[in-house]
């Protein structure tokens, strides 16, 4: 089963790149590639990756004082450590890239060529989102490595290392790779265990990409009309209000006015709290794919399409001259 993890993650990344770049129009592909390169060349992009990767590695050695639940707490924090940088990149890059193109009159030059406004806006969104996907893949590898390190450390402290893997599975791997030295077989097994940890938390990683996709679409749409600072502030408020709206509805039963306002926000804003599955995954429980993961992905896609359509409407009426 561990071999399936590697092929699953590799196939997911390849499929996403193919669907995003391989089948889109050539003009839109050009804009998307430029936006992708522009995003990953920013110093902020790599500073965030290095900073949060170091935080994730540091969390392996921190005590959490949770009475035996340190590993669960660590997994949940690791997922949050992936969500934070991709949301920052999604909001800040979308707001800066589109607004600077419009205000700097670069968009006029692009649109004077046979590139429509639709291709320009959708290409920007796709390129920035793919940069978020790349960051997620890198930090997911760090997540798998650190969770595996913490697991082995705790098992070593408990003198219970044999529970790290199924003995039958280990023996089957050794038989398959019997032509290799024992050290190489141990290294291969460690790599597979890292991917197994990623696979166990994969629904949470996918849901974090869903949130990044929504916020990228919202920031890109607002950037067609708003300045960078206003766009960033609105998107940050949008993000936190989307996560807190359902909580306010549940807690405001005695105040009709607060409950009404919270319900309005709940209807207009995406329910990002729907994607909080870190605690469930950290506890070792599974998130149903058909009943929960696919509806969550569908919700993100629908809201993203709505946001981009509104952005296209706003952009069509924008005077770039």
Using CA atoms, how far apart are residues 101 and 69, in angstroms rounded to an integer? 49
Q: What is the mean pLDDT of residues 91-120?
A: 73
Q: What is the pLDDT of residue 4?
A: 45
Q: What is the pLDDT of residue 254?
A: 67
**Of 65-79, 93-107, 197-211, which gets the smallest average pLDDT?**
93-107
Instruction: Quote the domain boundaries for residue 131.
Output: 2-316
Total H helices, total E strands in the chain? 13, 0
Per-residue pLDDT tens for 148-170? 888 877 766 665 444 445 454 54
Q: What SS3 string covers 171-195?
A: HHHHHHCCCCCHHHHHHHHHHHHHH
Per-residue pLDDT tens for 58-72? 988 877 777 767 778
Using CA atoms, how far apart are residues 199 and 205, in angstroms rounded to an integer? 9
**Residue 236 placed within a domain:** yes
Higher pLDDT, 269 or 83: 83
Using CA atoms, how far apart are residues 30 and 43, in angstroms rounded to an integer? 23
Residues 6+ apart with CB under 8 A from 181: none
Q: How confident is the model at residue 176 (pLDDT cuts 50, 70, 90)?
A: low
* 16: its two tokens: 């996403």
Does the pTM surpass 0.85? The reply is no
* 205: its two tokens: 């990683």
Instruction: Report the Cα–Cα distance between both ends of the chain, in Å, rounded.
Output: 58
CA-atom Rg of the chain in angstroms: 22
CA 272 to chain centre: 12
* 191: its two tokens: 């790599």
**Residue 31 placed within a domain:** yes
**Residue 321 placed within a domain:** no
Using CA atoms, how far apart are residues 196 and 148, in angstroms rounded to an integer? 9
**Residue 185 placed within a domain:** yes
Q: What is the pLDDT of residue 2?
A: 43
**Residue 304 placed within a domain:** yes
**Residue 98 placed within a domain:** yes
Tally Cβ neighbours within 10 Å of residue 166.
Answer: 12
* 57: its two tokens: 């590695």
Q: What is the mean pLDDT of residues 43-50?
A: 94
Q: What is the pLDDT of residue 19?
A: 46
* 135: its two tokens: 């960051």
Q: In the predicted model, is pLDDT for residue 9 greater than 60? A: no
Q: Which residue has the tokens 């070593």?
A: 156
**Residue 159 placed within a domain:** yes
Using CA atoms, how far apart are residues 132 and 114, in angstroms rounded to an integer? 28
Q: How confident is the model at residue 28 (pLDDT cuts 50, 70, 90)?
A: confident
- For the chain, how many structural domains are there in total? 1
- The rounded mean pLDDT for the chain is 78
Using CA atoms, how far apart are residues 198 and 262, in angstroms rounded to an integer? 35
Using CA atoms, how far apart are residues 204 and 56, in angstroms rounded to an integer? 16
Q: What SS3 string covers 56-118?
A: HHHHHHCCCCCCCCHHHHHHHHHHHHHHHHHHHHHHHHHHHHHHHHHHCCHHHHHHHCCCCHH
CA 16 to chain centre: 13
**Residue 74 placed within a domain:** yes
Q: Which residue has the tokens 């890059």?
A: 93
């Amino acid at each position: 089963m561990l071999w399936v993890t590697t092929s699953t993650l590799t196939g997911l990344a390849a499929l996403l790149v193919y669907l995003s770049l391989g089948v889109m129009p050539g003009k839109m592909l050009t804009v998307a590639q430029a936006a992708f390169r522009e995003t990953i060349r920013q110093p902020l992009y790599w500073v965030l990756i290095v900073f949060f990767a170091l935080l994730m590695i540091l969390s392996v050695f921190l005590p959490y004082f949770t009475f035996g639940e340190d590993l669960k707490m660590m997994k949940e924090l690791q997922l949050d450590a992936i969500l934070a940088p991709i949301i920052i990149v999604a909001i800040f890059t979308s707001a800066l890239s589109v607004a600077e193109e419009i205000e700097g009159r670069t968009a006029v030059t692009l649109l004077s060529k046979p590139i429509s406004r639709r291709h320009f806006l959708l290409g920007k969104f796709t390129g920035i989102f793919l940069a978020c996907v790349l960051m997620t893949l890198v930090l997911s590898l760090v997540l798998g490595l650190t969770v595996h390190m913490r697991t082995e450390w705790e098992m070593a402290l408990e003198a219970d290392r044999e529970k790290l893997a199924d003995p039958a599975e280990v023996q089957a791997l050794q038989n398959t790779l019997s032509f290799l030295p024992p050290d190489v077989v141990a290294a291969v097994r460690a790599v597979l265990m890292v991917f197994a940890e990623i696979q166990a938390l994969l629904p949470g990683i996918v849901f974090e990409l869903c949130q990044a996709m929504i916020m990228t679409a919202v920031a890109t749409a607002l950037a067609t009309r708003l300045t960078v600072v206003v766009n960033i502030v609105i998107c940050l408020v949008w993000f936190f209000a989307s996560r807190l709206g359902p909580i306010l509805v549940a807690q405001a039963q005695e105040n009709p006015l607060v409950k009404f306002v919270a319900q309005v926000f709940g209807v207009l804003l995406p329910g990002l709290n729907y994607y909080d599955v870190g605690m469930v995954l950290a506890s070792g429980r599974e998130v149903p794919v058909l009943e929960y993961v696919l509806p969550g992905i569908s919700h993100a896609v629908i809201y993203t399409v709505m946001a981009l359509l509104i952005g296209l409407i706003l952009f069509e009426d924008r005077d770039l001259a």
